[in-house]
Structure 1
């Protein structure tokens, strides 16, 4: 997350840095973004960037935290709202995901995250977001089997990735989500497929 120096900047400069970072991380995958281009666009010295952020990943995670929602936390919110009822939560969850990933101002951030996220970014993300591990503790407290949630998570991640790869619209995403969750709810081998 940004260093204190970043937060000590005047609001206009913070806003400009944030806008450039959003633009860079929206236009290309993380692996194609570099500090050199960012500082050139901002008209600042490279050293200034490192006064504001530890590294490029730090600036990326700042933008993701600022402009996107964690879909895992989104599911937990749905689960809590539905008093641990997984089926009702799964019904709501598809709409919740569609509401956030199809927002015009963050669509490309989600696309780049889901198509180009790698294990190195995942490890760094988890180190910066220790609260993520607590999600599963909360799920277990509600009496929900963690392994089943991990299984559903894999399906949801795949659907989101396919959504961006195949360039679905919102209606197509929801249609595919309902089909897949129907198989999960019925038991995939018991479904008429």
Structure 2
């Protein structure tokens, strides 16, 4: 998370830095991204950058959080409108956002995120409670995490407690991420993507999670 120094900047300057981040992280992956390009576009000294962020990874994941804020709110609303049904909520959420991810303003950024994500990256962005962060970010993350958990009706799930619910959430979100990543890889291979097919693949995976993939054997 950014330092308090960043949050004390004028909004216009914060937005200029985030716009520079958008350009750089939409151009290349995190590993290939250049802090020099960010500070040049943001028109800030290199020393100032390190007063705001510890490194480019810190900026990258904070930018990701700002991009997905609306997505988080919609997910919580979708689950609430489904009367706490986790799976129905995720179906609505995925169908609504998949087109935005592939053709919206942040499509190139999402493409770099999902085609280069490793286990470390997944742990950073999955809806699980984060620890050892600065107070500003830790409080906001805990609030969002609590809001998501409270939207889910545990009586509709075969889970015993919040620890198991967290494991299930990780599995469902992993399904979201891998389905989107597969769509981008198909786009790289074929030069196009099929939103209907991506939705169908997600629905199949979600149904297997929800109902199981094993058929009952008849004697």
For the aligned pair, the TM-score class normalised by the smaller chain equals 0.7 to 0.9
Partner of 1:157: 177
Distance 1:61 1:35 in 2: 14
Q: What's the offset of the Cα at 1:30?
A: 0.8
Distance 1:159 1:178 in 2: 10
Partner of 1:50: 50
4+ runs of 1 displaced by more than 6 Å? 70-73
Q: What's the offset of the Cα at 1:2?
A: 2.8
Distance 1:19 1:136 in 2: 28
Q: What's the offset of the Cα at 1:70?
A: 8.0
Please state if 1:187 is matched with 2:212.
Answer: yes
Q: 1:142 aligns with which of 154, 175, 181?
A: 154
Please state if 1:169 is matched with 2:194.
Answer: yes
Instruction: Please list every run of 5 or more consecutive structure 1 residues that lacks an aligned counterpart in the other structure.
Output: none
Q: With structure 1 as the length reference, what TM-score do the two structures score? A: 0.76
1:94-109, aligned counterparts within 5 Å? 94-109=94-109
- Structure 2 CA distance for partners of 1:33 and 1:52, relative to 1, 3 Å: same
1:85-96, aligned counterparts within 5 Å? 85-96=85-96
1:164 alignment partner, SS class: helix
1:79-90, aligned counterparts within 5 Å? 79-90=79-90
Q: Is the 8 Å Cα contact of residues 76 and 139 (structure 1) preserved in structure 2?
A: yes
Q: With structure 2 as the length reference, what TM-score do the two structures score? A: 0.69
Q: Is the 8 Å Cα contact of residues 20 and 38 (structure 2) preserved in structure 1?
A: yes
Distance 2:113 2:177 in 1: 11
Q: Is the 8 Å Cα contact of residues 84 and 153 (structure 2) preserved in structure 1?
A: no
Give per-residue Cα distances to partners, 1:85-143, cap 9 Å, x unaligned.
24532432331331542352111222222222234445556344542654675377633
Instruction: Please list every run of 5 or more consecutive structure 2 residues that lacks an aligned counterpart in the other structure.
Output: 160-164, 188-192
Distance 1:121 1:91 in 2: 23
Distance 1:15 1:86 in 2: 34
Question: How large is the Cα RMSD of the aligned pairs?
Answer: 3.2
